[in-house]
């Protein structure tokens, strides 16, 4: 089975990298009724030493993969853990090596500090968080935000996934959220909401009231975490 967008048949794969991007999928897309866990990639490095779990996000040392029950060609990945540079090739081979590349279309969500954004204007005048997009030449759909301007670049796993797709001629788009908050943050999570107007995600979005409940859980989790350091 495949997903039809007009006359085009695609097999969508959404990769959320980082805690806020993963939380966006949990809040606005994922639920236990329509989706099932079909895979896991476990990592270990100096940033991934915890084995604790939460009810709203994957653990800090796991990437979880989900399949849409009604259409098994639609896959999601939540990767809230850090993938070290020397692990990225192995991660890409493990993930994409098990997929049919024919008709595959990849959407990548990630965040990075607004201080990394290069502009002639002062970053102090920028209203953050904000989105920028970067795509492979095979990606023909309209993007949901402005394209990333030169001389800005992307790094780490988001860049590795996009580069892999470029080499294999897979249509792919990266949506990068520039934010001044590094912790789990509902404002940063909601900055991805314009993506719900895209052809793919608007068909996957769940009821707004359910999204609000999940966001409240993240807010409570964040406040509890912050209180530890008071």
The token pair that represents 170 in the structure block: 């897979």
Dist. CA 92–CA 62, nearest whole Å: 15
> pLDDT by residue (tens digit) across 101-143?
889 999 999 999 998 999 887 767 788 899 999 999 999 999 9
> pLDDT by residue (tens digit) across 206-228?
877 677 777 777 666 554 444 33
Dist. CA 67–CA 80, nearest whole Å: 18
Dist. CA 223–CA 67, nearest whole Å: 31
* Domains along the chain with CATH numbers: 10-216 (3.40.50.10900)
Supply the pTM of this predicted model: 0.84
Other C-beta atoms within 10 Å of 88: how many?
17
Helices of type H across 63-175: 88-96, 156-167
> pLDDT by residue (tens digit) across 14-39?
999 999 999 999 999 998 889 999 99
Provide the β-strand partners of residue 113: 179
């Amino acid at each position: 089975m495949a997903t039809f967008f007009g006359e085009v048949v695609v097999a969508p794969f959404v990769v959320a990298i980082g805690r806020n991007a993963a939380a966006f999928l949990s809040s606005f897309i994922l639920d236990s009724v329509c989706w099932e866990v079909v895979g896991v990639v476990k990592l270990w490095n100096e940033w991934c030493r915890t084995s604790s779990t939460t009810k709203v996000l994957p653990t800090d040392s796991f990437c979880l993969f989900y399949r849409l029950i009604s259409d098994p060609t639609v896959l999601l990945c939540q990767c809230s853990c850090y993938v070290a540079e020397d692990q990225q090739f192995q991660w890409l081979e493990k993930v994409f090596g098990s997929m049919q590349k024919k008709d595959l279309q990849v959407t990548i969500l990630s965040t990075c500090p607004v201080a990394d954004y290069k502009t002639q204007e002062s970053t102090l005048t920028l209203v953050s968080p904000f989105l920028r997009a970067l795509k492979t030449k095979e990606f023909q759909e309209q993007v949901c935000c402005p394209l990333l301007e030169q001389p800005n670049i992307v790094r780490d796993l988001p860049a590795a996934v996009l580069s892999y797709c470029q080499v294999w001629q897979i249509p792919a788009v990266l949506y990068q959220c520039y934010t001044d908050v590094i912790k789990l943050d509902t404002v940063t999570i909601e900055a991805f909401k314009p993506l719900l107007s895209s052809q793919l995600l608007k068909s996957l979005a769940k009821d707004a009231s359910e999204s609000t409940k999940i966001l409240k859980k993240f807010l409570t989790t964040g406040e509890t975490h912050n209180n530890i350091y008071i």
